[in-house]
Structure 1
Amino acid sequence: MATISFLYRSTREKAPLKVRFFYMNKGKESFIEVSTKSEVTKEYWQKHHKAKRILDISIKNFQNELLSELNSLENYIHDASMSVDVDRYNKEWLVGVVDGYYNPVVDADTPVSFLDWCDVTAEDKKADLTYNTKKKNKVSLRVVTEYIVSSKKEWLVKDIGIQFKREFEAYCLSKGYSNNTISVFCIYVKSVCNYAAMNGVEVSKTLNLVRVKEEAVDNIYLTEDEIEKIKNVELPSDYLDNARDWLLISCYTGQRIGDFMRFEKSMIRCEENRKGELKSLLEFVQEKTGKRMSIPLSKKALEVLSKRNGEFPRATSDQKYNKYIKEVCEAAEITDMVPGSIKSKTKNNGYRMVAKDYPKCKLVTSHIGRRSFATNNYGKIPTMYLKEITGHSTEQMFLKYIGKGSKDIAMEMFDYFD
């Protein structure tokens, strides 16, 4: 296994860093050392490069940019070393690898414009992306295109770095977009650049800095008492009753609308548990992750299905479902004023999210069932099981999803200590 490090090896006050490549060959440790194009001062390297707390913002920004560049070069050298036999490691080989990093060979017909790569990425990945991801990417592309047109500059893929991030963020803020929405746009931009890089296109050494810190949002969910009110409320029409049952099923299964709206009776099978009791399992493949799921159907979920002899409610569109469940929750008097954001029309006929206090029923969307399931069962069911049902890949992601921080977890630990 090779090890890569960077050193300042000059007597001058400013010089390019050296990259040192350690490797084992026939039981003997060897190393090669060549120059990079990352130039720094001796003072920076000795005093600031490994510093954790830097007050000078210009030095901090340079540190971030340099760390990103060196990390990118290290990964490039490591990948190159894996593709050749250890006997070929020598100075000429490493010089060629480093030169290839700074001067990548690109086919003459390969596009280099960022917007061109947006089109290429969308076409190449159209079979792999879900409908919702395509929809999100389409919005991101529209906003990025508007910015690029307004900047009167043809941004190449290699230009998408920290400077692009600063200018694009300022543009988005001037248009009223929230930090969380801008973060989504930046994730899209980086995904396009990364795909271009996979195809041999040069990218900025500061591409990894194209990110915006997300702000904490209010996690709206239905309490168990509110779910009971929804369950028992008399509704004036069949379509609302149908939507109410889907809402209850989502609260009892913890799945996204793209999954639960596809549920059907054929997905249910029964198996015996350790006590010899027959239990119902729901089996399906998650649309977003492609993960094969097998989740338990609780008595409450089966009770909803019993209304239709074990059949699920009628499927409906996302748009109608979101509208109907607001009406259901209003009928159930889920009307406490809570903080949240609602899309509102602007003077120029656009739309922006407006944050203030609203009746809770107005903030209900298709996602609330999934969040309600996760939040209401946290602390009752081991987190490792809950995240398996919701499909979160890590416990950290699950806790972030339900808005649990270290303080919340610490307070809950008193139940075990006291």
Structure 2
Amino acid sequence: MEFNNYLQFFGASAVSKLTDLIQNQEQDILVKFKQQIKQVEINKVEKVRIDLSEGGSLIQFMEKLIPTLNRTSGTLAQYRTTFKNLKSFQKECYKRPVHFESIDMDFYNAYVSYCQMEKEYSVNTIGKEVKHIKFFMAEAEERELHSNFKFKSKRFKKTSEESFSVYLSEDQIKTLNKLHLENTPQDEVIRDLFVASCWLGLRVGNLLEISKSHIHGNLISIRGEKTSEYIDIPLHPIVKKTIVKYGGILPNSISEWQINRRIKDIVKMAGFTDDIAYSITKGGRKVSMNEPFYSLVTTHTARRSFATNMYKRGINIQTIMAITGHNSERTFMSYVKSKRINAIKEMEDIFK
């Protein structure tokens, strides 16, 4: 198992090193394998360090580092957005290069203000921007590109507020599953995949990776997209039927972008059109929103629906977390809005 982890993570470099050791009949292969792989990583970091040691610009560092990172496509897209925002901030507001040594509370306040007023970002989106800047500053620090630790200050913090999001109840999922879409084959595939995701709880990246080799009887077994740990998920009857429908596999010849582009209209066709009122801090002020339910649905809604519905069923939290990949119980409880669910259930029990 340990060999497999190294081979999967380091790819061709690991395969080559391991093959050489086996052919030379080396003793203590695993120990020597680890040592050689560590050197591969050191060389890789040193190469990046040489490329990035010229000048002290955080933006230059990000531009060169992002393509080398082993992250999900979604995370890389977020990093690129922060990179573009910093370039715009530097040009339009800061009027000078964003050097490593200039990352202090004055920079923090100016950048947060830029995100609020110019970009009109929500509190949580600004929090992600700050989180990304702290990540890249830490990466640069490890490569000894600066000695500025002001980004570690408690005041240089990721802002956040409770986000608003919707989920589909089990009854809504069943209604969506019964929607007749035979005349629009692509919509039918998107609906089937979305409904299956409501019973699997996987991130969309994992969902679209599922092949026949991941399906073992009544289980799907796949390595988590972010945790890299194997996840075993029992198949709900609806998922089993979907797998049979598509010849022993879930449909995966479609992209996340295509799903997000159509899922709102599909959910609308299922009749989920009630207006939802909520508020969000945007552009530095509280904004009241009123939108139809279907307009708030994305690919991620399926995963949230799974987690929330399983929690409402009373399934052990650790069991659900093992499938969703949440590492922190506190994060999971916030994710499923446990306080609201528990308050509603308690009041409903009183009114019975």
Indicate yes or no: 2:276 matched with 1:318: no
Candidates 299, 318, 324, aligned match of 1:390: 324
1:340-384 deviation digits (Å, cap 9, x = unpaired): 699xxxxxxxxxxx9621211122110011000001110421111
**Counterpart AA for 2:100:** V
**Counterpart AA for 2:291:** Y
Q: Secondary structure at the match of 1:305?
A: helix
Candidates 304, 308, 316, aligned match of 1:371: 304
1:302-339 deviation digits (Å, cap 9, x = unpaired): 12223234321242111211122222211111111114
Candidates 174, 193, 203, aligned match of 1:246: 193
Task: Report the CA distance shift for 1:412/1:338 in structure 2 as closer, same or farther (over 3 A).
Answer: closer
Q: 2:108 — aligned with what? A: 165
Deviation for aligned residue 1:161 = 2.1
Task: Report the CA distance shift for 1:335/1:410 in structure 2 as closer, same or farther (over 3 A).
Answer: closer
**Counterpart AA for 2:173:** I
Indicate yes or no: 2:272 matched with 1:337: no
Q: Secondary structure at the match of 1:367?
A: helix
**Counterpart AA for 2:79:** N
Q: Larger Cα Rg: Structure 1 or Structure 2?
A: 1
1:22-43 deviation digits (Å, cap 9, x = unpaired): xxxxxxxxxxxxxxxxxxxxxx
Candidates 157, 172, 180, aligned match of 1:234: 180
CA contact (8 A) 1:262 1:315 kept: no
Distance 1:109 1:171 in 2: 28
Candidates 173, 181, 192, aligned match of 2:136: 192
Q: Which structure is higher in strand share?
A: 1
CA contact (8 A) 2:209 2:252 kept: no
**Counterpart AA for 1:300:** I
Task: Report the CA distance shift for 1:340/1:326 in structure 2 as closer, same or farther (over 3 A).
Answer: farther
**Counterpart AA for 1:322:** N
- Number of aligned residue pairs: give it: 287
Whose RCO is larger (CA < 8 A, sep 6+)?
2
Candidates 70, 76, 97, aligned match of 1:154: 97
Distance 1:395 1:387 in 2: 8
Indicate yes or no: 2:72 matched with 1:130: yes
Percent of paired sites with the same residue:
27
Q: Secondary structure at the match of 2:220?
A: strand
Distance 1:382 1:412 in 2: 17
Q: Secondary structure at the match of 2:150?
A: coil
Q: Secondary structure at the match of 1:153?
A: coil
**Counterpart AA for 1:269:** H
Q: 1:121 — aligned with what? A: 65
Indicate yes or no: 2:148 matched with 1:210: no
Consecutive unaligned residues in structure 2, runs of 5 or more: 1-49, 281-286
Distance 1:229 1:410 in 2: 26
TM superposition score normalised by structure 2: 0.75
1:226-278 deviation digits (Å, cap 9, x = unpaired): 111101111231111111110111000001111111212221113xxxxxxxx
CA contact (8 A) 2:206 2:224 kept: yes
Candidates 54, 70, 86, aligned match of 1:144: 86
Task: Report the CA distance shift for 1:113/1:309 in structure 2 as closer, same or farther (over 3 A).
Answer: closer
CA contact (8 A) 1:374 1:390 kept: yes
Indicate yes or no: 2:229 matched with 1:283: no
In the TM superposition, structure 1's runs of 4+ consecutive aligned residues that sit over 6 Å from their partners are 410-415
Q: Which structure is higher in helix share?
A: 2
Distance 2:90 2:329 in 1: 39
Deviation for aligned residue 1:111 = 3.2
Show the 5 A alignment for 1:287-306: 287-306=225-244
Distance 2:188 2:279 in 1: 27
Distance 2:246 2:112 in 1: 51
Q: Secondary structure at the match of 1:289?
A: coil
Deviation for aligned residue 1:403 = 1.8
CA contact (8 A) 1:158 1:203 kept: yes
**Counterpart AA for 1:315:** S
Distance 1:243 1:121 in 2: 35
Computed over aligned residues only, the root mean square deviation of the Cα atoms, in angstroms, reads 2.7
Distance 1:355 1:290 in 2: 39
Distance 2:85 2:156 in 1: 16
Distance 1:257 1:355 in 2: 30
CA contact (8 A) 2:274 2:293 kept: yes
Distance 2:324 2:103 in 1: 35
